[in-house]
Amino acid sequence: MDKIRIVGGQALTGIIPISGAKNAALPLMIAGLLSEETLVLENVPRLADVALLQRILGNHGVDITTHGKRNGDDPHAGQTLEIDARVIVDTTAPYDLVSRMRASFWVIAPLIARMGVAKVSLPGGCAIGTRPVDFHLDALRALGAEIEIDAGYVLAKAPKGLRGGRIVFPKVSVGATHTALMAASLADGETIIENAAREPEIVDVADCLVKMGARISGAGSSTIHILGVPRLKGARHAVLPDRIETGTYAMATAMVGGDVMLSGARADLLDNALDILRQAGVEIDATNEGIRVRRNGAGILPVEVSTAPYPGFPTDLQAQLMALMTRARGRSRITETIFENRFMHVQELARFGARIHLDGDTATIEGRERLTGAPVMATDLRASVSLVIAGLAAEGETMVQRVYHLDRGFERLEEKLSRCGAVIERISA
């Protein structure tokens, strides 16, 4: 099993290219199931989750051609995927595939919308919380689907097709909003989604569906209107830049100091997180090229943050911010309101000498001047990168184990950091 070795203490200087957003690429790939024509997706990141979803879609008969893998292709440019779902050979998504990536459950929406039937395994638990699929199923029921659960599988039927309806989510859910958007695009009549997720990735998927012929308005607000159409066509769409990767490298630069241009990043996608970094004493400048992040050696100031659905502070940056605050000059507080088990990185950060006290859903961090390198173990995707951030600043050597978590969401992380001066390498077992 691969490990990542880091020798801390080096400032970061240079350019880090920001990849396409994983959290947009996955639902966009699944949206390819909605059409008999080819969907071309550009700027798709090279990630383990993307490769796994290609396998899952292939199980349904989808033919995917990948461009950007040949020798000589720019390794920092995203892949282009041509998704051909002309023939769907199987409407079952088995447990052995769905259990490996929760987002694959979303295939239920295009399968039932286009084929009238779907059998999809329940995804099961997750390291950062249970994240039940009730909201997804309630949304499909609101569109006329018949839902049964048997032996760990969701059996969904709509023999006469889906029909428009009113969907009211009791709690904001990005995944359920994706499900509702895709299903309603082919439903007969008008659908209104209330308390919809407002994340930029929702807007990106809606924009792509509109290119495919869907009639959607209001994406990015809490109320979305969809007028269903009989069929969707092919389209070409570029995945938006990854705001979580952007925030992660911004916090890494803030942690060790330096001057980094996050090439291709869009400041409008993470205004809240950038404002928090400014409060911490980091210089942030949005340019036509991307986002420039600078810290010249001045101390890191403490902050108080609560995670919240977009446009609030993203839960996917909570662990990274906590790593940064371990070196702040004073006491910081971070409250996690989205996932119940998302403080699993605390005990690993403590191995660096971090002082963190947990009280329910709130972590209090007492900043320290120095951290010390240590062997640590990743527990989930975002927690794993917080350990990398801590290791970049820690004195001595850090060895991060279980880096397969990192490969799920960060493309060429060690290469991007080493090009900016970090002493970091992957060690293959």
281-293 per-position pLDDT tens digit: 999 999 999 999 9
Q: What is the pLDDT of residue 209?
A: 98
Is 420 marked active-site? no
Q: What is the tens place of the pLDDT at every residue in 160-186?
A: 999 999 999 999 999 999 999 999 999
Q: What is the pLDDT of residue 390?
A: 98
Q: What is the pLDDT of residue 22?
A: 96
Q: What is the tens place of the pLDDT at every residue in 24-53?
A: 999 999 999 999 999 999 999 999 999 999
Q: Provide the pLDDT confidence category of residue 73 given band limits of 50, 70 and 90.
A: low
Q: Which residues contact 148 (CB under 8 A, 6 or more apart)?
A: 154, 155
Tokens read off for 197: 């997720």
Q: What is the tens place of the pLDDT at every residue in 308-358?
A: 999 999 999 999 999 999 999 999 999 999 977 779 899 999 999 999 999
For residues 405-413, average pLDDT: 92
What is the DSSP code string of 54-79?
HHHHHHTT-EEEEES-STTS-TTSPE
Q: Provide the pLDDT confidence category of residue 298 given band limits of 50, 70 and 90.
A: confident
The answer to which of 129-133, 318-322, 341-345, 407-411 has the lowest mean pLDDT is 129-133
Residue tagged active-site, from 115, 126, 168, 298: 126
Q: Which domains does the chain have, with CATH numbers?
A: 3-18+241-427 (3.65.10.10), 22-238 (3.65.10.10)
Residues annotated within a binding site for UDP-N-acetyl-alpha-D-glucosamine: 102, 171-174, 316, 338
Burial group, residue 50, by CB count within 10 angstroms (0-12, 13-18, 19+): buried
For residues 408-424, average pLDDT: 96
Mean pLDDT of the chain: 94
- Type of residue numbered 173: S
Q: What is the tens place of the pLDDT at every residue in 350-382?
A: 999 999 999 999 999 999 999 999 999 988 877
Tokens read off for 303: 């902050």
Burial group, residue 72, by CB count within 10 angstroms (0-12, 13-18, 19+): exposed
Q: Which of 338, 253, 365 is nearest to 11 (CA)?
A: 253
Q: What is the tens place of the pLDDT at every residue in 241-270?
A: 999 999 999 999 999 999 999 999 999 999
Q: Provide the pLDDT confidence category of residue 127 given band limits of 50, 70 and 90.
A: very low
Percent of the chain at pLDDT above 90?
87
Q: What is the pLDDT of residue 100?
A: 87
Q: Provide the pLDDT confidence category of residue 126 given band limits of 50, 70 and 90.
A: very low
- 74 pLDDT above the threshold of 90: no
User: What whole-number distance in Å separates Cα of residue 392 and Cα of residue 400?
Assistant: 11
Residues annotated within a binding site: 22-23, 102, 171-174, 316, 338
- 128 pLDDT above the threshold of 80: no
- 130 pLDDT above the threshold of 50: no
Tokens read off for 31: 């949206």
Q: What is the pLDDT of residue 380?
A: 82
User: What whole-number distance in Å separates Cα of residue 165 and Cα of residue 178?
Assistant: 16
The answer to which of 6-10, 75-79, 119-123, 207-211 has the lowest mean pLDDT is 75-79
The answer, as to whether pTM is greater than 0.85, is yes
Q: Which of 196, 221, 171, 197 is nearest to 337 (CA)?
A: 171
Q: What is the pLDDT of residue 70?
A: 55
Residues annotated within a binding site for phosphoenolpyruvate: 22-23
